[in-house]
């Protein structure tokens, strides 16, 4: 049984369907990427998990139990569009968010101090939020999300608006939380970050799941049987085994070949090794970005036809 189990969730608005029967299983202690273009239904799904919206059909279970309003204390949620009360003091603000999630005052204060210390924001505790830089406000938002030590964390586009240094710090914190046993649901269209941190992904498009699985498995499934070969020689095409592809714009010195249907990698490499001076070869796996674009585009074409 998955930690967070979303089963056939449907959400309709006047005039359109935001989620048309979405299912998703998130295992405990993993970082799960929820991907999809704008308007695919990611935010609606996240709001349903957070019980901000109610699903029209389907169930959401947490740790094997149907979710109730009380479960929101087990979730830390950082929405894509996030903000703070500008006139509140940093410390008071964090404590308020913690207590809203059911912490005692003493616990919230202690936790707030620990996190402010960790993010080097100690001297800002009694300053008003409006006096903080944007980067610091984002750190405060992050602290507000994790202060109550929730077992399930939901980040909607967490890196948007962060500079590279802060984004890196945030990534380290997220991985540390995962190592401490938190389950993390991660909604983004930043594919580089998906490859770096996510183990599992689900790709939503037009209110439906179009792709799901572990990152490695998805990559294997979408590989195009392309091999990058390093050799000083000029390789001639061999129609039985492979066709030549135009060189990669970044790695210009590699020769890229695409294997013919049903040809094992080993046969092609053996043949090449016999005829040319091979210095190396690597199988080219598609990046998550390519898979994302390809899947979304092909589905859109299907839908349009």
Residues that bind another protein (CB under 8 A): 14, 47, 50-52, 69, 72-73, 75, 77-79, 81-88, 96-97, 99-101, 141, 144-145
* Alpha helix stretches (DSSP H) within the chain: 42-49, 90-100, 105-118, 134-146, 164-179, 191-197, 215-221, 265-275, 288-304
CA dihedral 151, 157, 162, 165 (to 10 degrees): 60
Between residues 59 and 73, which has the closer beta carbon with respect to another protein? 73
Q: Smallest gap, in angstroms, from Cβ of residue 52 to another protein?
A: 5
Nearer to another protein (CB atom), residue 132 or residue 215: 132
Q: Could you tell me if 147 and 179 are in contact, meaning their C-beta atoms sit under 8 angstroms apart?
A: no
Calculate the alpha carbon distances from 279 to 145, 273, 282 in Å: 50, 9, 11
**Measured from the CB atom, is 78 or 211 closer to another protein?**
78
Residue 137 makes CB contacts below 8 A (sequence gap 6+) with 84, 129
In whole angstroms, the minimum distance from the beta carbon of 88 to another protein comes to 7
Q: How far is the CB of 34 from another protein (least distance, A)?
A: 16
Least Cβ distance, residue 13 to another protein (angstroms):
9
- CB closer to another protein, 145 vs 187: 145
Q: Among all chains, which residue has been given the structure tokens 């006096």?
A: 131
Between residues 22 and 78, which has the closer beta carbon with respect to another protein?
Answer: 78
d(CA 183, CA 150): 9
CB of 182 to another protein, least distance (A): 16
DSSP H/E element including 148: none
89/178 with CB nearer another protein: 89
**CB contact set of 228 (below 8 Å; sequence gap of 6+):** 248, 251, 254, 255, 256, 281, 282, 283, 284
Q: What minimum distance in Å lies between the beta carbon of 99 and another protein?
A: 6
Q: Residues near 36 by Cβ (< 8 Å), separated by ≥ 6? A: 42, 189, 203, 204, 205, 296
């Amino acid at each position: 049984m998955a930690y967070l189990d979303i089963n056939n969730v449907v959400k309709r608005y006047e005039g359109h369907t935001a989620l048309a029967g979405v299912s998703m299983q998130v295992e405990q202690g993993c970082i799960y990427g929820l991907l999809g273009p704008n308007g695919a239904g990611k935010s609606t799904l996240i709001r349903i998990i957070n019980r901000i919206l109610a699903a029209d059909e389907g169930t959401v279970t947490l740790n094997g139990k149907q979710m109730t309003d009380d479960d929101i204390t087990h979730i830390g949620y950082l929405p894509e569009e996030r903000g703070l009360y500008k006139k509140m003091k940093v410390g008071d603000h964090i404590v308020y968010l913690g207590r809203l999630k059911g912490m005692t005052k003493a616990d919230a204060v202690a936790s707030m101090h620990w996190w402010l210390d960790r993010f080097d924001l100690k001297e800002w505790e009694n300053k008003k939020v409006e006096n903080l830089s944007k980067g610091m406000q984002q750190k405060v938002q992050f602290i507000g999300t994790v202060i109550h030590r929730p077992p399930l964390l939901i980040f909607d586009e967490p890196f948007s608006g962060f500079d590279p240094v802060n984004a890196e710090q945030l990534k380290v914190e997220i991985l540390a939380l995962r190592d401490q046993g938190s389950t993390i649901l991660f909604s983004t269209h930043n594919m580089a970050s998906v490859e770096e941190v996510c183990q599992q992904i689900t790709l939503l498009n037009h209110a439906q799941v179009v792709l799901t699985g572990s990152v490695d498995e998805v990559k294997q499934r979408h590989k195009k049987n392309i091999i990058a070969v390093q050799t000083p020689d000029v390789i001639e095409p061999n129609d039985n085994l492979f066709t030549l592809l135009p060189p990669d714009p970044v790695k210009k010195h590699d020769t890229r070949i695409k294997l013919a249907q049903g040809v094992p990698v080993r046969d092609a490499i053996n043949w090449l090794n016999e005829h040319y001076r091979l210095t190396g070869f690597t199988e080219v796996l598609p990046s998550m970005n390519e898979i994302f674009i390809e899947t979304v585009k092909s589905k859109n074409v299907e839908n349009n036809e």
